[in-house]
Every structure is written in C-alpha cells, then in structure tokens.
Chain A
Amino acid sequence: MLELFTVDFWNQYGLLLLKETGSTLIMTGLSALAAYLLGLPLGVLLVTSGSRGVAPHKVLHAIVDWAVNIGRSIPFMILMCTITGFTRLLVGTHIGVRGAIVPLVLSAAPFIARMVESSLREVDAGVIEAALSMGASPWQIVKKVYLPEALPSLTLGGSTSVVTILAYTTIAGAIGAGGLGDLALRYGYYRNVPPMALFTVVLIILLVQLIQTVFGRLSIKIDKRLR
C-alpha cells in the first residue's frame, strides 16, 4: 500500500488534503465553540434547577431535560437532512463548511450539556453547602464554586466533546460539507483511490490523538488537587 504514496499522489492530492484538513479543523473548532456557548448554560441549568440544586425549578428542569434528551435522540444524519431549511435561514446555505456548522452545533450542544452536567455533579455537595451557609446566591455558586471547581473535569470532558464533533464532521462530509470525511468517501470509496482513504483515516486518528493529549494534559496541569 505504501508504494501508492508516490510523488504523483502528492502532486495530485496534496493541496486538496491540506485544504480539507483545514476545513475539518475549522468545522470542528467553530462548532465546538458555538456548541459550548449553548451546551454549557444548559448543563448548568440541568444541575442548578434540579430538585436538589441551588435554584430548584421543576418546570424549567423538565423542559431542559426533555429538550436535551430529544436533541440527543435524533441521529445526526437525519437532523442534518431535515433542518436544511432552518440552516439556510440561519447561514444562507445548507452545504459546505458553513452549512455543516448549524446541524453540528445543534447535535453537539445537548451532548455537551450532559457532559457539563456530569462534571458539575462531581463537585462535592459539601462545598456547595458550605457556600450556601456563607450566604452565596445561586449565581455566585455557579460562577465561584461549580465552574472553577469542575474546571479540570470540564476540560477533560471537552476532549470527548471535540472528538465527537470531529466524528460528526466526517458524516457531514457525506452530504456536501467537505472536510476529511468527504475526501475519504469521494476519493477513497467512490473513485477507489485506496491511499486517499488510508491517509485521511490516519489524519483523523492523529487529530483525535492530538485533541485527547492536549486536553488531557491541560486538565492535569490546571487541577490543584494533584499537587
């Protein structure tokens, strides 16, 4: 297989690979950012509005809980195809990198909300109680206790979320979003250029490794419990 990586191969596909790797990174990065803007507050709400939370609110909790579950139930592929109208309305197109970001965000945000929820739940209930005993308001508890105390766990959860979004981008590639998934499918499968399939997969593996390592190290570095 290695002999297939000839000078010809690089001449023909090198630029394309570079460009599509860039597309994947942009799609993943922007979607992750936007999905966190949406998912983080939802995750916080899931914890604080629960019956044992610092600001219990039955109705609000039920709504968020349901919305998140529904969001997580819809397969990404289906979501992407069914909301094209909405996507066009929002960003003007439903294809390409721009068009992929909308369904990516909608799909990842509920997932992130659950990740955030589980990270915040790891914060010792006693510490929350101590803050309450000092007269902290619910907002102060979120800002000064939940988020800073859960930061190492949130960071680690971040790697899982980003890798998940990366995986989604490859699916998005199948319906015109571009990126490495698109290359693997179009060249590697339909046009039968095996080195293309191999190389894109290797690139994705490297990306996943990179994301996991960076977030993992960061999480350890910022965790003051470990020194």
Chain B
Amino acid sequence: MKPIIRLSGLSKVYLQEGAPFQALDQVSLEVLPGEIFGVIGLSGAGKSTLVRCVNLLESPDAGIVEVEGQDLTRLSPAQLRLARRKISMIFQGFHLLMQRTCLENVQFPLELEKVPSSKARKRALELLELVGLADKANAYPARLSGGQKQRVAIARALATQPRVLLCDEATSALDPTTTTAILELLQDINRRLGVTVVIITHQMEVIERICTRVAILDQGRVAEQGAVAEIFRNPKTDAARRLVYPAGVPAELPQENPVIRLSFDGGAAYQPIVSSLALECGVKANILAADLRPLEGKTFGTMLLELPDDPAARKKALSYLTAQPHLTCEEVKPHA
C-alpha cells in the first residue's frame, strides 16, 4: 500500500540558549492510509517537533515531508494553507477559541474556507453530535471539562473532512477514564470515517490500546518501528525496553524461564492477580518488575512475571490470564 505520510531523512536543529540541539536526526517513517500510527518517546525525544513537521508548523532543516504524494516542503505559503486543511491536528492543551461557543469553534475551520454559514452550522452540529456534545453547542469552552474540550477540538479537527488527524499528546492532560473515552472516540472516527490517525504520546497505554503500528523515538532518532504487538513482545533497543518494560526492570531477564508482560488497562478494580494465579491455577509466578498505579480505584500499568519452566503450568497460567477482563498478556522474549 502506498503510504499516506512519508517522512524521509528529516533533521532539525534548534538553538537552545545558544547551543545547537538536534531535535530530529535523519528521521524516516511511513504511515499507511487508514491506520492508527503511534509515535512514542520520553520528553525531549523530538516527538512534538516530528508531528509539527508533518503539517510544516515546524520546517525541517533537511528531508522530505510527503502527504498524499505531495512534498509539502516545496509548496508556496498559499498552497501549504490549502494542504493543511486536509491535515488536522489536536493538542494536549485543546487550544479552543475561548471567546467562541463550541458550535462556533467547530465552524471556525469552515469559516476559513468561506463555507456559507448555514452549511457550516449544519455540519458543525452534525460533528458535535458525532462527538456526543450536541447539547453543548451554545456553551463556551470555559464551561467544559477537559474531556469535553478535547471532544470539541476533535469535532473542529474533523470539520474540513481531513485525510489525516495528528494528535499531539491529546490525552496527556486528561484523567484515565476520560483518556479511555477519547481513545475510543479516536478509534471510532478512524473506523467510521477512514481518517488516518497519528498519535504522539509518552503514555505506553495509549499506544497499546489503539495503535496498529508504532515508532519509538529516542534522542531525535527512530530507535525502532513496527507492529505494536511485535515491539511489545520483543523490544530490541534500550529505548524500546525502557518504554515497554516497567520501571526497575532487571538489566537481564532470566534466560531459562518464560516471562510474560501483563498490562492493566484500568477497566478492572482491585485485582490480586498474582495471588489468584497461585490459588486458582497453582502457578507460582515471580514478579520481576511492576509499575502499577491505582487511580480512582482502578489499576493502570504493567507487570513482568516470571513463570516456572513447566509447559503445562505456563499454558494454564496463560489461559487463566488471557481470560481476565481488562488485562492483556503477552509472552516476552528474553533479550540478550
């Protein structure tokens, strides 16, 4: 399939207090039409710069930015403005116009295109309906919660029927429950409207939950990219391991015994998973590392378990764990 976004050899150097800082270093990646592509990295890895290069809010020092076969770096300012209408963006801080109602916010990009106001209004109402905020059409953003603001921002981003939706840490300012709802909305939009979604985040669970493929960005370079499941199962680089494995993971995983990675998506309340594994399956698992955060009575995070080297016990444990709701479980290959 022909990629909808093709970034090739992107480099960008900033001057930070007089000293050059390499934000992007020869970044190349391709996003396929209709997929949800994730870019993850720690802060300072260059994610925000990377996503801003896709619509040229940042212009790279070198490299090609191709969207739908068009090299954006060669466009005139007027042509670029036209191209940007098909590449929408949502932000961590929502960035709604505070002096406009929700409806007027969604109409905003249509006004820029000089769509007649009755038509724009109708479309904006449909979009607010789509994001579940039809009743807030005449409310001002100051009255909305974070999740509602992001919904309005999503409706606004969809107004021009974009081919691509860029999400810059779109859920980072939201609580876990709202994050889940917004991710579901993005997934729904991706499926129903066929919009290609690019998600920039530092939250592993965001990637885990909705992305099909992921690129791991580390110090301005792509450390690894590929299918999400594959990278989770077998992270090859240190940068990937730091993200995939919880904090405090031992430098070397045991080579002989099988290791599994559990991730808790916050759907379940109190889950004494290790004890119930022992009690109900008779499997004694060893916790290698865990990074769990109880939030609002629910558990988020990941855990690495070492299972005994007994195929029968391993099978039993795996089938027990996979049957648990709100828990995903995969085997991890030991890294050398």
* B295 neighbours in A (Cβ, 8 Å): none
User: B142 within 8 Å of A by Cβ?
Assistant: yes
Q: Which residues of A contact B160 (CB under 8 A)?
A: 134
How far in angstroms is the closest Cβ of chain A from B233?
Answer: 35
Could you say which of B82, B88, B95 contacts A124, with CB atoms under 8 Å apart?
B95
B residues within 8 Å of A by Cβ? 55, 57, 78, 80-85, 87-89, 91, 93, 95-101, 108-109, 111-113, 140, 142-143, 153, 160, 166
CB distance from A82 to the nearest CB of B (A): 42
Residues 171-216 (chain A) with a chain B CB within 8 angstroms: none
Taking a contact as CB atoms under 8 Å apart, the answer to whether B81 and A135 are in contact is yes
Establish whether residues A144 and B81, one from each chain, have CB atoms under 8 Å apart when the complex forms: no
Contact A145 B97 (CB under 8 A): yes
- CB of B98 within 8 A of CB of A129, answer no
Most interface-central of B93, B95, B142, B160 (chain A CB within 10 A)? B95
Q: Which of A8-16, A100-108, A219-227 contacts B (4 or more CB under 8 A)?
A: A219-227
A134 adjacent to B112 (CB under 8 Å):
yes
A: residues with CB less than 8 A from B are 124, 126-127, 129-137, 140, 144-145, 148-149, 151-152, 223-227
The SS class assigned to the B binding surface is: mixed
* Contact across chains for A133 and B57 when beta carbons are under 8 A apart: yes
Q: Report whether B142 and A225 are in contact in the complex, using a CB–CB cutoff of 8 Å.
A: yes
Of the A-B pairs whose beta carbons lie under 8 Å apart in the complex, a sample of 16, sorted by A's number, is A129-B91, A130-B89, A131-B112, A133-B84, A133-B88, A134-B84, A134-B108, A134-B109, A134-B112, A134-B160, A135-B83, A144-B108, A224-B98, A224-B100, A224-B142, A226-B142
B221 to chain A, nearest CB (A): 25
Report which of A124, A129, A137, A145 forms a contact with B81, defined as CB distance below 8 A.
Answer: A137
Known: A126-B91, A227-B143. A135 touches B100 (CB 8 A): no
Residues on B with beta carbons closer than 8 Å to the beta carbon of A129: 57, 91, 95
